[in-house]
Structure 1
Amino acid sequence: MIQNKLIRLKCIVSLTAAALMVMSCAQKTSSGSSSNPWKEMDLVVKTLPKTNFQDKNYNINDFGAVADGKTLNTEAFQKAIKQCAANGGGKVIVPNGKYLTGSIHLESNVNLHLEDNAEILFSINPKDYPIVHTSWEGTELMNYSPLIYAKNKTNVAVTGKGTLNGQANNTNWWIWSGAKSYGWKKGVPSQNDPTNREVLVDMAERGIPVSERIFGEGRYLRPNFIEFMDCNTVLVKDIKVINSPFWILHPIRTNNMIIDGVRVNSHGPNNDGCDPEYSQNVLIKNCTFNTGDDCIAIKAGRDADGRRVAIPSKNIIVQNCKMIDGHGGVVIGSEISAGVNNVFVENCVMDSPNLDRAIRIKTNSRRGGIIENIYVRNLEVGTVKECVLKLNMFYNVYGSQTGNFIPVIRNVSLENVTVKNGGKYSVWAEGYKESPVENITLKNVKIQKVDSVYLLKNVKNINFINTYINEKKVETIKN
């Protein structure tokens, strides 16, 4: 027992040291004083704590699971996970075959591991997803459990080359979006009914406690697929994810997370590939995103709820990823009220006629937020529909989105970027007169086949260094 206490103490000391190093890095970078932010990124990656599990396996078949794609295995999954956790942790093995289940709730020190030909089929019956504390479009609430859910857990993982299949389509979860393109028809209930989405947003604005924001049955707010809430030291590796009801990978208030080699192919409504929210020290690498919404969308809470939580997302690192279809490759916002800083994107490929933008920041005066220190390098872009870089303080998709929280966007850098088909604009940036978009740099950027060089409104200090658009060198704009 004494030895175990010493081991735990050593772990705490090492994690604390790592956290102090990362915090020091973050402070330097967020102030804009670092001469080489990429070195600061390397420090974050180097000091990121890694998951570590006991060499013990718990096969779900030994707990009564049946691989026929029809038998509901929720209880077998939970028995295996509980037993694994009770014995100090290890791997919960999902063998080859098709396993139907409701929500899976993870525990600390547990690695849910899918064999190569294993497929978890998630039930399309909402009753198989109990009400839990979760979040929906940047607002916390009590709602259907995410399909895979962990809350207040440490050292937890989902790994293996098997498939997670949400089974969502135009006849079940997606129809709740209220979009005709996803099967909705007049008279069919959806999230857009007056008692649903609007009520949730109003509750948050009025400061109603999260425990009293009870939704679920009859409210049609779709569950997230994989959500880690208030967790630390998390790994998601190699899995394939398809047909998600809603957001796909959603770390919220979760720190020290690695997402590695994940393959997302899901074209439903609001099918963002990965949405780190109020989260810090998140590494997303070697992943492929083919989505119905943003490939990666970095969040920080919506409106009053974001200002209540007041935790910025920072040290979000994207490396060696491929973005195919999506509204944007790497996006920040629009749920952004607590702010985002220190985002690093490098060595990525983005290419699809169905990809709207490469890099995008979206906010407005109702969201607010400070978005700063966004660094992008070594980006290879094939085709984008609208623009390569879009920085917008007037994002508006849900009716009136104006308020008294003027956002800040500053310190955005693109370096070593090539684009074959740039769409309508190379750079589209719009700020407020009292809060211009500030300090934008394009260095060694080459963009072909773009309609207009830029659309700029209230932009201060935009620099073009060795940048060519439609074969013509672009000069820095003097303010």
Structure 2
Amino acid sequence: MKMIALGMGLLISAISVFAAPPVEVDITRYGAVGDGKVLNTVAIQKAIDDCHQQGGGKVVLPAGTWLSGTIVLKDHVILQFKKDARLLGSTNINDYQNIDPFTDGLGIDVGWALLVAVDAKDIGIEGEGAIDGQGAKLKEQQIATDTRPEGERWGRRPFLVRIVRCENVTVKGITLNYAAAWTSHYFQSKQVRIENIKIVSHGVAHNDGIDIDGCQDVRIKDCDIYSGDDALCFKTTSSTMACSNIVVTGLRLRSNQGAIKMGTESMAPFENITISGCYIYDTNNGGIKLLTVDGAHLRNVQISDIEMVNVRTPMLIRLGSRLSVFRKGKDSQQTTGTLENVVIRNVKAQAAAKAQLTPPSGILITGVPGHYITNLTLENITINLAGGGTALNARQQVPEAVNKYPEVKTFGPLVPAYGIWARHVKGLKLVNITFTLDSNDQRPAFVCEDGKEIELTGWKTPATSNAPSIIRLEHVEKASISNMNVLGTADAFVSAEGDSKDIQLRKNKTPGVKKK
């Protein structure tokens, strides 16, 4: 009986150990002062280190304003923000560390951060509080001593949050404000959950909202982002780990640049990514921008159920050959990548009258000579545009810009179609596309240059007048155009030029067109 009692005692003791609540550490126990003036870097870091050494738990920031430089999050630690708690970034750039340096798409050395985790597991940033980088104030103090041009100087400024090679990461409920550079950067991390966060970060250049850089098994949902630079941006600054198995739902996005963007830095693949149910508004440089220009394979991407209001140039899809390298000494230049098997459906867009291209256009799609964008499908797309294009504009020659930075303005000042302009494409399907115009536009609704296996079906085009053609195909082999409802007048429905061949027309309504 004594042996049984002893065994039961050991069992109960073991159960009590495993059932013990996680450690909860208040930063004030380590001397932190929440007046917004005292620098609390050492105190907060000591709280995190002690929590980590005790096996993990929560490090609590109570209500108050907690000034700090770089803080490093450790394994099994959640940084918990109570209501009215604010982590305030120092305005002295010397208070920040760069634990994982790299070069961004513009060639600038970056990586300093306020809150950073490197090679950590089971970490979180949660609660009702906020992290504020004081970006504008930090910049103002920096330029007093840093005399380099702004294009070189900005990289020294810290990101707000950096998560580097971590596993099982949760960022939930928190507000991220006014970063000095990128707001949040997740690099080569797995099992990342970002939910119900709010970002308001603008006022200095390069204020990206969420940057997902070579991460896998990521879920992002129900976030509200207003960013000075790209709002939701997928990157691969290293060739060693793809952006893959990512699901994004229910985002509200406003940006001074792009809302949903993929591939500004693009070395490893982007694959198996689904984005749905997003509202994009007041965005200055592209609603959806899918790019691969540094050798990455962009494939198996689906985007659906997107609404855009007052967005400059709703879509840009680009396969290019810039071929930059971003991790010095760790990567080498790659060959041109691929862009294939992408589906974008159920999009309603009201395009801004003032855009990067004048007159504006709805969708730009372009590879480079010898490298086709392949098997791209756009379905159930409705776009309202300003119009204003002339017959002369319809013959605009667009630069190839093979190795240039991938932006809409790269192909300016305008493109020769008001609706969709496509070049170097194969297996392009454009299904149930509707355009409306606020004024007449004499450019074609669709222009394709160097295309194979093109399918247009179920389009509705507005009542334009005096257009040379509704559709122009240049060097296109095998195209099917069917069930089109053309309300406008034109000299021709389809203008097939160059060595275009095997063009099939079926069941199209074109009462105002002089010839098919």
**Which letter maps to 2:368?**
Y
**What is the distance in 1 between the residues matched to 2:111 and 2:385?**
46
What whole-Å deviation, never above 9, does each CA across 1:168-192 have from its counterpart, x for those lacking one? 11x533787xxxxxxx799922464
**2:258 matched to which residue of 1?**
328
**What is the distance in 2 between the residues matched to 1:175 and 1:431?**
43
C-alpha distance 186-393 of structure 1, shift in aligned 2 (>3 A): farther
Give 3-state SS (helix, strand or coil) of 1:133's partner.
coil
1:410 and 2:343 are equivalent in the alignment: no
1:467 and 2:433 are equivalent in the alignment: yes
1:384 and 2:311 are equivalent in the alignment: yes
1:358 and 2:287 are equivalent in the alignment: yes
1:289 and 2:248 are equivalent in the alignment: no
Give the alignment partner of residue 254 of structure 1, picking from 142, 167, 189.
189
Give the superposition deviation at 1:316: 2.1
C-alpha distance 142-380 of structure 1, shift in aligned 2 (>3 A): closer
What whole-Å deviation, never above 9, does each CA across 1:256-307 have from its counterpart, x for those lacking one? 0001111111112111111111111111111111111110110111xxxx34
**1:148 matched to which residue of 2?**
115
Give the superposition deviation at 1:477: 5.3
**Which letter maps to 2:364?**
W
**Which letter maps to 1:390?**
L
**1:77 matched to which residue of 2?**
44
Give the alignment partner of residue 227 of structure 1, picking from 137, 145, 162.
162
**What is the distance in 2 between the residues matched to 1:227 and 1:161?**
20
What whole-Å deviation, never above 9, does each CA across 1:352-407 have from its counterpart, x for those lacking one? 1x43211102343xx1211111201111111211x222112348799xxxx87223
1:100 and 2:67 are equivalent in the alignment: yes
Q: Name whichever of 67-76 and 220-229 sits farther off.
A: 220-229
Q: TM-score, normalised by structure 2?
A: 0.69
Give the alignment partner of residue 61 of structure 1, picking from 10, 17, 28.
28
Q: Name whichever of 184-193 and 442-451 sits farther off.
A: 184-193
Q: Name whichever of 458-467 and 85-94 sits farther off.
A: 458-467
**What is the distance in 2 between the residues matched to 1:88 and 1:187?**
42
What whole-Å deviation, never above 9, does each CA across 1:39-74 have from its counterpart, x for those lacking one? xxxxxxxxxxxxxx9543211111111111100111
Identical positions, percent: 25
**1:27 matched to which residue of 2?**
none
Give 3-state SS (helix, strand or coil) of 1:83's partner.
helix
**What is the distance in 2 between the residues matched to 1:174 and 1:343?**
39
C-alpha distance 442-288 of structure 1, shift in aligned 2 (>3 A): same
**Which letter maps to 2:291?**
K
Give 3-state SS (helix, strand or coil) of 2:279's partner.
strand
Q: Work out the number of aligned pairs and report it.
A: 386
1:266 and 2:201 are equivalent in the alignment: yes
More helix by share: 1
**What is the distance in 2 between the residues matched to 1:422 and 1:143?**
33
Q: Is the 8 A contact 2:340 2:374 kept in 1?
A: yes
**1:348 matched to which residue of 2?**
278
C-alpha distance 76-185 of structure 1, shift in aligned 2 (>3 A): closer
**1:455 matched to which residue of 2?**
421
C-alpha distance 411-134 of structure 1, shift in aligned 2 (>3 A): same
Give 3-state SS (helix, strand or coil) of 1:458's partner.
strand
Q: Is the 8 A contact 1:299 1:335 kept in 2?
A: yes
**1:372 matched to which residue of 2?**
299
More strand by share: 2
**2:498 matched to which residue of 1?**
none
1:311 and 2:241 are equivalent in the alignment: yes
Aligned-residue CA RMSD (Å): 3.2
What whole-Å deviation, never above 9, does each CA across 1:114-168 have from its counterpart, x for those lacking one? 1121111111112212342243426999976411111111000001121101011
**2:177 matched to which residue of 1?**
242
Give the superposition deviation at 1:312: 1.4
Higher relative contact order (CA 8 A, sep 6+): 1
Q: Is the 8 A contact 1:175 1:190 kept in 2?
A: no
**What is the distance in 2 between the residues matched to 1:327 and 1:368?**
23
Q: Is the 8 A contact 1:450 1:469 kept in 2?
A: no
Q: Name whichever of 466-475 and 451-460 sits farther off.
A: 466-475
Give 3-state SS (helix, strand or coil) of 2:47's partner.
helix
Give the alignment partner of residue 162 of structure 1, picking from 129, 142, 146.
129
Q: TM-score, normalised by structure 1?
A: 0.74
**Which letter maps to 1:83?**
D
1:188 and 2:147 are equivalent in the alignment: yes
The structure number with the bigger radius of gyration is 2
Give the superposition deviation at 1:340: 1.0
Give 3-state SS (helix, strand or coil) of 2:113's partner.
coil
1:125 and 2:54 are equivalent in the alignment: no
**What is the distance in 1 between the residues matched to 2:126 and 2:271?**
29
**What is the distance in 2 between the residues matched to 1:372 and 1:334?**
16
Q: Is the 8 A contact 2:323 2:336 kept in 1?
A: no
Q: Is the 8 A contact 2:316 2:365 kept in 1?
A: yes
